[in-house]
Structure 1
Amino acid sequence: MESNNLIETLLRSLKILLILLLTSAGLMFFLGYILVVGDSNNDEPIVEIANYVKPDSNFVGLWPGPADWQKSKFNAEQQNLINYGKELIAHTADYLGPKGSVKPISNGMNCQNCHLQAGAQPWGNNYFAVQATYPKFRERSGTSENQVKRVSDCFERSLNGKAPDSTSREMKAILAYIEWLGTGVSKNKAPKGSGIYKLKGLKRATDPVLGKVVYEQKCQSCHQAKGEGVLAADGKSYTFPPLWGPNSYNIGAGLYRISNFAGYVKYNMPFGVTYKNAQLTDEEAWDVAAYVNSMPRPTKDLSKDWPNINGKPFDHPFGPYSDPFTEAQHKYGPYKPIKDWKEKHKANKSQKPSLASL
């Protein structure tokens, strides 16, 4: 009898437990239904479930650059040199501009105008890969270039001025800062987020007319209607740099290539934008690049550039070329036919002649 009573008690307990479990599950389902679907008197859901969007791998795990504490491994003199180099990049014109305190060898722009956050912003035309990848051969000069040449080119092209003396404290400081920014980067490697993002090309030519509209809507408030920028109160540098005209970068600068300018503005402009919160569409970036680089700016003797014309990039706007396309198409596009032609003829050159052709 006691055995039967025990079994009945266990069965009743299991039944009660099962009822409680079913009741809890039903309540949870009901609450979930109310939260997501809503009641019959309301067609709009109370809570919407967003679709998961996989992040773009191009913008995940970007190289952050070295932290300030890492300077502690240098002695006091080296730290001062690195800090001075950063200051020169951020406020170039205060020292080396037309009214600079050291020497007037540039146009009043700062290196930071093109190399954001003193050359430390991911996809902001930064210096992260410079120390690791130089010296290196560059088609533009047809020679192996070192870091001194890299800095000199910026002064002569982007700052439309003269290169600092290679033995000067200013050159040494800039080089020390660039070297420090490359801390932790493996030799011959460019970490993710280095330089300028390579924007996907358009199927059509870039359009300066459409770009003018973008400029007026997104850029003009800072860079002004005539591209002249905004001069700082002290008259030494620019709060917002000129994008064309006599005080802007010249035709030999890297940003005069429309592909470089487009990738730069896409993830850095309007001011304050980064790769995390881009405002421009790809087409707007390409078109505003075409507009800005269609405007007048200082010239430069480029006769010694690209001694091997086969090495000219697809959007270099000055001939002669080894391909049959015009200067206008090289400048504004469409670029795909140029790229295809280059790839095809590169492949042909690499092929060995057949016996029949000998």
Structure 2
Amino acid sequence: MNGKINEKKIKRLFFFLKALVILLFLAVLSLAGNIFLQNFAVHSTKSNNAPKAFVKIDSNFTSLWTAPSDWRLMRLSPKEQQQIKYGRELIAHTSQYLGPKGSVAATSNGMNCQNCHLNAGTQPWGNNYFAVEANYPKFRARSGTVENQVKRINDCFERSLNGKALDSASKEMQAMLAYIKWVGTDVPKKKTPKGTGIFKIKGLARATDPEKGHLIYAQKCQSCHQANGEGVIANDGKSYLYPPLWGKNSYNTGAGLYRISNFAGYVKLNMPLGVTYERPQLTDEEAWDIAAFVNSMPRPAKDLSNDWPDIAAKPFDHPFGPYADPFSEKQHKYGPYKPIKEWKEAHRK
């Protein structure tokens, strides 16, 4: 009798343990399922609402052309090396040689070529010389003629440096030509590498605003270029630590930077001093308005009567008439530019 009772107890205990194991298994299975569903829901929410892990890089800022490294000069003859180095020195410190107190001649206003062509014309989107050798001689609508590099350099002396043209056979002209050719080493003929010249920033829907630009200038530019735009002259009295942006010693009304679009693109990726194209500080609107302010200020005038013989070829922001379109000089200078561009496109021959 006792044996049968013990056997029944053992069977009951066995079934109880078996049921307990099954219940525990089901509980664990249920818990795992809930965790899976929660994780799936969270993942789905992140996938739908969060930005993708891979963000396409702005292709404008990748694979930019660079100037040849200095070590490559060793491949040239000592005479060629010396000439190129002198040319770079003239670009970087123009006023020391060709400024009002220059050691060679007094042919310019005291600014350096490097003030407009950063890092001696090698800075990406710093108004560099990368494409000059590959593309000159070329036709330029401003003069209505085919221009060579001598003409291009002398244009800068007569406009941006508000000075006099150099003799094409002079030691200085030949050195600058050699240096610009060196900077354009390896650029294929008739090609313009990425990063050349001045960056074209997005246009404004409104007109540029010199008053807004004045406020931004006071905040971000004035500490270097000073309240009245005269810049800061160096201790030697021959050059500027920070160049003048307007006034009698700045670029004249024929300079490329007197066009607001050029000035805006230039400062956008290069100013205030120390910024780079990878990490600009100014917004597009700030760049446009600063450009409008600086170019609203007085500066030397240049006779432009021989410029743009085909007036229909004038850029949308060329500030001096006559024009082929019906828009005023004020709108050509300050905008809004979109109506001008649309008119020019509609009447293109």
TM-score, with normalisation over the residues of structure 2?
0.85
Deviations along 1:207-250, one digit per CA (max 9) or x if unpaired, are 00100011000000000000000000000000000000000000
Pairwise mapping of residues 246-265 of structure 1 onto structure 2 (< 5 A)? 246-265=248-267
SS in structure 1 of the partner of residue 139 of structure 2:
strand
Q: CA deviation at 1:105?
A: 0.1
Match of 1:189 among 188, 191, 205: 191
Name the counterpart of 1:161. 163
Deviation at residue 53 of structure 1 after TM alignment:
3.3
Alignment-mate amino acid for residue 300 of structure 2: P
Query: Whole-Å Cα distance in 2 between the matches of residues 165 and 93 of structure 1?
Result: 17
Please report how far the alpha carbon of residue 252 of structure 1 lies from its aligned counterpart in structure 2 after TM superposition: 0.1
Identity fraction in percent: 71
Q: Shift in Å at residue 166 of structure 1?
A: 0.5
Separation in 2, partners of 1:179, 1:70: 14
Q: Distance in 1 between matches of 2:275 and 2:113?
A: 18
**Other structure's SS at 2:345 match:** helix
Matching residue of 1:130: 132
| Cα deviation 1:251-298 (Å, max 9, x = unaligned) | 000000000000000000001111011000000000000000000000
Residues 99-178 of structure 1 mapped to structure 2, 5 A cutoff: 99-178=101-180
* Structure 1: stretches of 5+ with no match in the other structure: 1-25, 38-47, 350-358
* Alpha-carbon offset, residue 69 of structure 1: 1.6
Paired residue for 1:216, among 190, 197, 218? 218
Task: Kindly state the Cα deviation for residue 74 of structure 1 after the two structures are TM-superposed.
Answer: 1.5
Match of 1:22 in 2: none
Structure 2 CA distance, aligned partners of 1:163 and 1:300?
A: 14
Task: Please give the alpha-carbon distance, in whole angstroms, between the structure 2 residues aligned to 1:122 and 1:59.
Answer: 10
Q: Deviations over 1:67-123 (max 9, x none)?
A: 112212211001100000000000000000000000000000000000000000000
Is 1:280 matched up with 2:285? Answer: no
Q: Distance in 1 between matches of 2:56 and 2:282?
A: 21
Classify the secondary structure of the residue corresponding to 2:347: helix
How big is the shift at 1:163?
A: 1.2
Aligned match of 1:296: 298
> Alpha-carbon deviations, 1:295-336, whole Å to 9, x = none?
000000000000110110000000000000000000000111
Aligned residue for 1:322? 324
Q: Distance in 1 between matches of 2:181 and 2:75?
A: 14
Deviations 1:172-219 (A, max 9, x none): 000000000000000000100000001110000000010001100000
Q: Tell me the residue number matched to 2:16.
A: none
1: CA distance, partners of 2:224 / 2:262: 21
Aligned to 1:270: 272
Structure 2 Cα separation of the partners of residues 123 and 111 of structure 1: 15
Alpha carbons of structure 1 residues 52 and 160: separation in structure 2 relative to 1, 3 Å: same
Partner Cα separation in structure 1 for residue 143 and residue 122 of structure 2:
26
The aligned residue for residue 74 of structure 1 is: 76
CA–CA separation in structure 1 for the residues paired with 2:165 and 2:240: 20
Runs (5+) with no aligned partner, structure 2: 1-31, 44-49
Q: Tell me how far apart the structure 2 counterparts of residues 220 and 107 of structure 1 sit (CA, whole Å).
A: 21
Q: 1:343 to 1:218 in 2, by over 3 A?
A: same
Q: Please report the RMSD computed on the Cα atoms of aligned residues, expressed in angstroms.
A: 1.8
Larger radius of gyration: 2
Identify the residue that residue 21 of structure 1 maps to in structure 2: none
The alpha carbon displacement at 1:54 in A equals 2.2
Runs of 4+ in 1 over 3 A off after TM superposition: 48-53
Whole-angstrom CA distance in 2 between matches of 1:145 and 1:315: 22
Whether 1:64 and 2:62 are equivalent positions in the alignment is no
User: What is the Cα deviation at residue 49 of structure 1?
Assistant: 9.9
Aligned to 1:180: 182
Aligned length: 306
Question: Counterpart in 1 of 2:230?
Answer: 228
